[in-house]
Chain A
Amino acid sequence: MDQDSTTPYSPANRLRPRSPNIQIYRPQLTSVLSIVNRISGVLLSVCALGLVIWLIAAAAGPQAYAVVREGIASWAGRAVLFVATFAFFMHLCGSLRHLIWDTVHGFSLRAIYLSGWIVFAASMVLTVAAWVTSAWIRR
Chain B
Amino acid sequence: MNHGSVRKGAGNWLLERATAIALIPLTVWFVAALIAHTGSDYAALIAWLRKPFVAISMVLLLIALFWHTALGLGVVIKDYVHAINQRTVTLIAMRLVCFGLTAAGVVTVLGILFSG
Contacts from A to B (Cβ < 8 Å): 38, 41-42, 44-45, 48-49, 51-52, 55-56, 58-59, 62, 65-66, 85, 88, 92, 95-96, 98-99, 102, 130, 133-135, 137-138
Contact = CB atoms under 8 A, between A and B. Distances in A.
B92 interface: no
Given A48-B69, A66-B42, A138-B38, A55 B105 contact: yes
Given A42-B73, A88-B31, A138 B39 contact: yes
Given A45-B73, A95-B20, A56 B108 contact: yes
Chain B, interface size category, equals 20 to 34
Interface of B: 17, 20-21, 24, 27-28, 31, 35-36, 38-39, 42, 45-46, 49, 58, 62, 65-66, 69, 72-73, 76, 101, 104-105, 108-109, 111-112, 115
